[in-house]
Structure formats: structure tokens, C-alpha cells
A and B are shown apart, each in its own frame.
Chain A
Amino acid sequence: KNEVEQSPQNLTAQEGEFITINCSYSVGISALHWLQQHPGGGIVSLFMLSSGKKKHGRLIATINIQEKHSSLHITASHPRDSAVYICAVNTNSGGSNYKLTFGKGTLLTVNP
């Protein structure tokens, strides 16, 4: 079982729909990251959070430490949101929190 699980693997939506991508993890973490990877391959960090909720524009990320679960929401989705969304965690390993462990990503396609 992977330490970081994302769902769904693939998601197709119509423009304007509300999108939710989920991430569950099984290890102790110090922080969780949501990343966006566009078809060209470049990766952009969207959020880093260790508790609660963060909002940036149409994007909202939440985390529940007790349940070891995070969600990424996109409101009023747009075709330009089409990308792979990746969840990654800073694992607490031997007192160090440097290592990033990644989920396999969620491919989001937003149709006009």
C-alpha cells in the first residue's frame, strides 16, 4: 500500500463545476503539499499546509490531521485548470522531516 493515496486517479468535469480531489496518507507528517503539473511537465506548488484550511483564488485546500486526510477543491472550474494534481507529504522519519513522499497524482480534465 502506498503511503500517500489519491482519488480519483482521473477526473473529467464540465467548465464551472466544483471539483474535489482527495489525499489520504498513512504515515506521520509534518506538512502536506498540493502540487500542479501541466502537460509540459513543470510542477508548481499550490499549497503547503499542516493544519486547517488555505485558500488561494478559486483553490481551497483542507487537511484533517486526525483523519490523515486532505482535500483540494476547485470552484468554478475552467479548462485551464486541466492538469495533474499531486499530493505530497513531508514524512516524519527518524526525527527528520525533509523527505517528500508523493501520491500518484490525479489527472483533471475540464471541458468547455
Chain B
Amino acid sequence: GAGVSQSPSNKVTEKGKDVELRCDPISGHTALYWYRQSLGQGLEFLIYFQGNSAPDKSGLPSDRFSAERTGGSVSTLTIQRTQQEDSAVYLCASRTQGNTEAFFGQGTRLTVV
């Protein structure tokens, strides 16, 4: 596609349910990032993929959070047993190798009620 695509754009879920957030990066972009932006806060790094591997998962806040990437393309961020503090905008970005510009998706606004 022309840009990084995320779905859904909005998700409201009940506390305790699992959610899956999807990111379609720009074709050919080997690096993919997930970030979280809580209300009034800056962007927080969650996880980085290089191809299908995740060399840095240090930003995942708990073991309820996991992510995978398949075919060097689509990535899914899964949050199990959601909590209210998980409410945030989850952003995905992709770029090619090296010092290159990062392209961001529109984000998924997750609300846990």
C-alpha cells in the first residue's frame, strides 16, 4: 500500500478481554516498530522487528503483551486480559534499514472499559 496501515482505527473492549491490533507496513520496509501513546504522555517504545525477528522487546510493559510478524510484513500486537491502564493509542511505524525516515500509521485508539 501507499503507507502504513493500522486496523482497527478504534477499539473499545471490556476489561479482561483479549485484543489484537494489526499493522501493515510499507512494502519492502524491513524494520517495524510498535509504540504506545497514553493520554497526555509521549510516545513509548514497545517492540522492534527486523524482518520476522524481534531483537528488542524491552518496551513491552508486561507478559500480557506480545507481538509477532509474519512474512516480513504484517505484524500483530496482542494484549491479553486487558486492563484500563492499557487504554492508549497504539502506533506502528516502518522504515528501511539504516538511518532512514520512519513512516507512521494512523494508530489504533484502544479504550478498555
Contacts and interface: CB of A to CB of B under 8 A. Distances in A.
Contact of A30 (B48, B91, B99, B101): B99
A107 to B, nearest CB: 10
15 contacts: A33-B102, A35-B104, A41-B107, A42-B104, A43-B91, A45-B101, A90-B99, A97-B99, A99-B45, A100-B33, A100-B93, A102-B35, A102-B42, A102-B43, A105-B42
- Which secondary structure dominates chain B's binding surface? strand
Interface in B79-109: 89, 91, 93, 98-104, 106-107, 109
- Which secondary structure dominates chain A's binding surface? strand
Given A43-B104, A45-B104, A101-B45, A50 B109 contact: no
Interface residues of B, number: 25
A42 B63 CA distance: 28
A44 interface: yes
B41 interface: yes
Number of contact residues on A: which range applies? Answer: 20 to 34
B95 to A, nearest CB: 9
Interface of B: 31, 33, 35, 41-45, 48, 50, 55-56, 89, 91, 93, 98-104, 106-107, 109
A48 B91 contact: no
A42 B37 CA distance: 12
A42 B42 contact: no
A1 B45 CA distance: 17
B56 A41 contact: no
Contacts of B99: 30-31, 48, 50, 90, 97
Contacts of A43: 91, 93, 104, 107
